């Protein structure tokens, strides 16, 4: 029996079934797309939350390239140069 009027259809078994099926289909398609992307583009599927996990997840996904060896070397050189400058300033401050 289908309830009439308003939004009472949300209590019907068929509506719940459709929602669950849509969620499973969306999850499966996302998973397949992710695997295809990783296999063909050679990139990691990484994401971070911009505004915390309670906000809209799809608007907060960033595609992040993993750092290369050159990136890590440049960062390391910058980091230790900055540490040396900070220490020199600390030592000369009296």
Q: In total, how many domains does the chain have?
A: 1
Grouping H, G, I as helix, E, B as strand and the rest as coil, residue 80 is helix
Tell me the mean pLDDT in the region 5-34. 84
Domain-located, residue 21: no
Q: Does 93 map to a domain?
A: no
**40 within some domain:** yes
pLDDT of residue 71: 85
- 73 falls within a domain: yes
In a domain, 18, yes or no: no
Q: Are 60 and 82 in contact (CB under 8 A)?
A: no
For residue 37, give the DSSP letter: H
d(CA 61, CA 41): 17
Predicted confidence (pLDDT) at residue 79 exceeds the cutoff of 90: yes
Establish if 69 belongs to a structural domain. yes
Query: What is residue 11's predicted lDDT score, i.e. its pLDDT?
Result: 78
């Amino acid at each position: 029996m289908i309830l009439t009027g308003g939004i009472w259809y949300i209590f019907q078994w068929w509506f719940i079934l459709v929602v669950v099926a849509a969620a499973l289909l969306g999850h499966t398609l996302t998973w397949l797309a992710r695997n295809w992307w990783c296999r063909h583009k050679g990139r990691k599927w990484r994401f971070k939350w911009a505004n915390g996990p309670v906000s809209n997840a799809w608007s907060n996904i960033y595609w992040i390239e993993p750092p290369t060896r050159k990136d890590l070397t440049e960062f390391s050189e910058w980091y230790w140069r900055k540490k040396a400058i900070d220490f020199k300033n600390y030592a000369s401050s009296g």
